[in-house]
Chain A
Amino acid sequence: MASRKIHAIYTDDDLLMQAVKQTRAANYHISEVFTPFPVHGLDHAVGIAPTRIAITSFLYGLLGLSVAVLMMNYIMIQDWPQNIGGKPSFTFYQNMPAFIPIMFELTVFFAGHLMVITFYMRSKLWPFKKAENPDLRTTDDHFLMEVDADNHDVEKLTKFLYDTGASEISLIENEQDH
C-alpha cells in the first residue's frame, strides 16, 4: 500500500510545539516527530502514551534481588556452610546482614542494565543499525514533523503546514507501508 507523508521542517522548538498543537487541533495525524533534543512536553502534545520503561526497571530490580538471595542462600547456607569470623551461617536469616551489600548491588545491576537493554530493543538502537532520521539537520538544529497525507488534499495540507510556520515542506511517497 502506498502511503504519502508530508515532512514539515521547523527551526525552533517552540514553533514546533505550536505547530504540533495546531496540526492536532485540525485533525491531521502526526505520524512522527524528529527533534535534535528532548523538547519538554512534546510527547504529551503529540499524544503518545507515557512510557512504561520505569515499570520494567522495577521488575528487573526485583529479579536481581531474587537472584542475589537465591545465589547466596545456595552458596553460603545450603551448599557449603562455613564458619567465617564467627558469622552465623545456619540460616539465611542469621547471615543476611552480611549479604545486604550484594543484594543491593545486584538489584541495581539488573534494574539498570536490563532496563537499558529494553530501551535499546524497543527503540531499535544497536550497533550497525542505520539511522532513520529523514533529514540530517534534525540532529543539529532542525525539527521535523511527519504528517499523514493519505485521504487529505495535499495542497490544502501544505498550505496549512506553511501557515504553522514550517520553513520547508516536502511530500514523501512510500511504496510500501511498514
Chain B
Amino acid sequence: MSSHYEAPIREPLVLGEKSYHDISVDVGAPILGKANKSWWIVFTIALVAFLWGLGCIIYTVSTGIGVWGLNKTIGWAWDITNFVWWVGIGHAGTLISAVLLLFRQKWRMAVNRSAEAMTIFAVVQAGLFPIIHMGRPWLAYWVLPIPNQFGSLWVNFNSPLLWDVFAISTYLSISLVFWWTGLLPDFAMIRDRTNSPFQKKIYGILSFGWSGRVKDWQRFEEVSLVLAGLATPLVLSVHTIVSFDFATSVVPGWHSTIYPPYFVAGAIFSGFAMVQTLLIIMRKVSHLESYITVLHIEYMNKVILLTGGIVTVAYAIEFFIGWYSGVPYENYTYLSFGAATGPYWWAFWALIICNFVVPLTLWVKKLRRNIVYTFFVALIINIGMWFERFDIIVVNVSKDRLTSSWAMFQPTFVDIGTFIGTIGFFFVLFLLYARTFPVIAQAEVKTILKSSGESFKRLRAEHGDDSSHIQKVEEYPADAGPAANVEGKHFDTVFDDSDEEDLENNSVDLELHKGKIDTLLSGVGTFNPEVQKQDDLKKINGIGPVMEQKLHQIGIFTFDQVSRMTDREYDLLDEIISEFPGRAKRDDWAGQALMLKNKN
C-alpha cells in the first residue's frame, strides 16, 4: 500500500484535526454561506473604481488617445507600463500550478487555485491596454492573420508586438483551461453538497458532470502533468516576448540582451507579491488559516527573495554595462547615474528601495514568517514593480538622443482613472471568485492530508512511522470485520458513536455539577426559548445525538452559545460531561459553531 510517510522535520501543511469531510466543509463554507458586510464594502469600492475606469476608457475611445498625457517624445507611458505590470502579475499563478507541480511541491495545493484565478484576472486587465491603445478597439481583430478585403494585407510576423498577441492569447487560454480542469472535481463537490436547487443546477453545469471515476482521475492527473509541462516553457516565453517589445528596438536602455531572463524573474517576483497580498487577506476573511499557513507564506517569501535577487543582479548589470559602454546616451537610461540624479530621481529611488532594499529584510526568518510584515512588503513590491516598468518606459524615452526633444511625462486624470479602473475590475473579479468558486483545490489538498496533515504527522510521531493508523488495517485480516481505521479520527460513518451509545441511559448529574453549570452558562449565555430558536447542534462535527442531548440538559441550545466557548468553558464542560475529555477543544466546536451561526 502506498506510504504516506513524510519526513517529520517538515512542518505540516494542513493544520488542526482535519478529516476529508472537514476539508470539503471548510472550502465550501464561503460559497454555501452568506457574504458578510466587509465583503460588500470592499466589493462596492472595487465596483466604483471599475465604473470610473470604464468611464475613462469610454472617454478615451470616443475622444481619442490625445486625452492621455503622451507627448511627441514619450509616446508610450502608463498604458504600456500598466500592460507589462499586469502581465507580470499574471505570471505567479501558472508558475505555482505548473512549475511547482513538476517539482512535486505539496505546498502549491493550497495556493494554486487562487494564484491561477489571479493570473487570469490580471491577464484580462493587461489585455485591455493594447486594445484601448488601438484607438478603434472594434478593429482589434486586425491583429489576427485572417484573409481580408485589403488584398493580401497580412500581419507582420517579424514584429514582437504580434508575437505578443500570440503569446498572451495562448497564455490566457491555456491558463484558463488548466484552471477550469482543476476546478471540475471541486465544482462537483459543491454541486453534491449544496441544498439549494439553484446552486445545484449552476454547479452541475460548471462541473461538466464530473463523476470522479478512476479512469477520469487517471486522465485528469496525466492532463494536469502534461499541461504543466507545456505551461512551464509557456510562462517563460510570455514575458520573454513582452521583453522583446523593448529589447529588439534601438532605444538606449531598451536594447538589452539580458531583458528576457530579467523580465521573467521580475514577473514572478511581482506575481508572488500579488499572491501574498491577496491570500493574506483571503485566508483571514474565508477562515482558511488551517490550509494557507504561515509556512506557505514563508515559502512564497523565499521565492520572492530568489527572484528579487535575480532582479537586483540584473539592475546591477544594467547599471554597470551602461557605465562601462562609455556611450553618453547610456547615462540617461533608467539605471544610471544620470537617472539617479536627474529629474526622475524619485522614480529611480522608488525602484531601488521597493525592489532591492525592502525585500532584503526577508532574509530574516522572523520577518519572513511575520504575516503582517509580509503583507506590507508585498504591497511595497507591487508598487516597486510598477515603478520598474515606469522607469524602463518613461525614463528611457524621456531623454532622447536629441537634447531638443527631451521631455517629461505628465499623466492626465484619464491615465490615472484607467489604471485605477483596472485595479477595480481586477478586484471585482477576484471578489466574485472568492464568493462563488472553491478557492482551494480541495481534491488535491485531500491527497496530501495523510502525508502533510498535522494530526496525521502527530499520529506517526506517537506510534512510529511504520505503524500509523493505516497499518492497523493491514495487520488484521480483512475478515476481522469492518476495518476500523478511524482511530484518532472521526469520519462520519454508520459506525459512528451514536450507534454504540445508550440513548436512554444518558443524563447529566445536574445536582452534582450545579455550580459548574452555572459558571459555564454565565460564560456562554443562557437560552431563552421564548425569543430564541434552538439550533441543530449535531451539525457541529464531533457532536452526536448523545452529546446534543447532554448539552441540552446543561442548557446549551444554540450555535451562538457554543461559539462563545473558550478554554475555560471547554474545561468546565469536560468536568461536567466526562466521557469525551478534550474533544470539544480538539474539534474546535466554538470555531465550527461560529461558521454555522454566520451561515444562518
Contact = CB atoms under 8 A, between A and B. Distances in A.
Contacts of B209: 124-126, 128-132
Nearest to A61: B230
Given A14-B470, A126-B208, A43 B218 contact: yes
Interface stretch (A34-42, A147-155, A170-178): A34-42
A172 to B, nearest CB: 15
Given A18-B474, A51-B222, A33 B214 contact: yes
A72 B275 CA distance: 38
A112 B486 CA distance: 41
Q: Which of B155, B212, B443 has the most CB of A within 10 A?
A: B212
Contacts of A136: 192-193
B484 to A, nearest CB: 8
A111 B152 contact: no
B578 interface: no
A36 B20 contact: yes
B411 interface: no
Contacts of B208: 120, 125-127, 129
Interface string B154-185: 11111110110011001001100110010011
A104 B233 contact: yes
B2 A137 contact: no
Contacts of A82: 156
A79 B156 CA distance: 13
Contacts, number: 247
Interface in A41-71: 41-43, 46, 48, 50-51, 53-54, 57, 71
B491 A101 contact: no
B64 interface: no
B494 interface: yes
Interface string B202-223: 0011111111111111111111
B177 A101 contact: no
B191 A139 contact: yes
B212 A32 contact: no
A5 to B, nearest CB: 14
Secondary structure of the B contact surface, majority rule: helix
Nearest to A54: B226
A38 B214 CA distance: 8
Contacts of B206: 127
B539 interface: no
B226 A115 contact: yes
Given A101-B163, A132-B211, A140-B20, A36 B145 contact: no
Interface string B292-329: 00000000000000000000000000000000000000
Contacts of B216: 123, 125
A166 interface: yes
B93 to A, nearest CB: 15
B219 A167 contact: no
Interface string A76-98: 10011010110100000001001
Contacts of A126: 208-209
A53 B233 contact: no
B444 interface: yes
B101 interface: no
Given A15-B485, A36-B185, A126-B208, A48 B170 contact: no
Given A35-B212, A37-B185, A95 B158 contact: yes
Of the candidates A36, A106, A122, A168, the one having the most CB atoms from chain B within 10 angstroms of its own CB is A36
B173 A113 contact: yes
A112 to B, nearest CB: 5
B35 to A, nearest CB: 24
A111 B229 CA distance: 11
Interface stretch (B77-85, B457-465, B475-483): B475-483
- Give the interface size class of chain B: 35 or more
B113 interface: no
Contact of B154 (A34, A80, A111): A80
A125 B434 CA distance: 24
A98 B215 CA distance: 42
Nearest to B448: A37
Nearest to B25: A140
A138 B212 contact: yes
Interface residues of A, number: 80
Contact of B234 (A72, A108, A131, A162): A108
Interface in B540-573: none
Best-buried of A35, A72, A136 by chain B (most CB within 10 Å): A35
B2 A123 contact: no
A38 B448 CA distance: 11
Contacts of B157: 72, 75-76, 98-99, 102
A82 B153 CA distance: 11
A131 B191 contact: yes
Nearest to A100: B163
A127 B206 CA distance: 6
A14 B145 CA distance: 54
Nearest to A140: B24
B483 to A, nearest CB: 4
Contact of B166 (A39, A76, A101): A101
B241 interface: yes
Given A102-B163, A105-B166, A38 B188 contact: no
B383 interface: no
Given A48-B214, A106-B166, A139-B212, A163 B479 contact: yes
Contacts of B478: 18-19, 22, 163-165
B211 A84 contact: no
B189 A139 contact: yes
Interface centre among B184, B205, B219, B485 (most CB of A within 10 A): B219
Nearest to A34: B212
Nearest to A123: B216
B493 A131 contact: no
Contacts of B1: 14, 17-18
B363 interface: no
Would you list the 5 A-B pairs with minimal beta carbon distance, nearest first? A129-B209, A141-B20, A165-B483, A125-B208, A136-B192
Interface of B: 1-2, 19-21, 24, 145, 152-160, 162-163, 166-167, 170, 173-174, 177-178, 181, 184-185, 188-189, 191-193, 204-223, 225-227, 230-231, 233-234, 237, 241, 244, 443-444, 446-447, 450, 470, 473-474, 478-479, 481-483, 485-486, 491-495
Given A76-B157, A139-B188, A165-B473, 18 more contacts: A11-B491, A38-B217, A39-B447, A48-B215, A51-B218, A51-B222, A105-B167, A105-B170, A116-B177, A116-B181, A119-B219, A119-B220, A127-B206, A129-B209, A136-B193, A139-B185, A141-B446, A141-B492
17 contacts: A32-B214, A38-B447, A39-B217, A42-B214, A48-B218, A51-B215, A102-B166, A109-B174, A115-B223, A123-B213, A128-B209, A129-B208, A131-B210, A133-B211, A140-B193, A141-B492, A163-B479
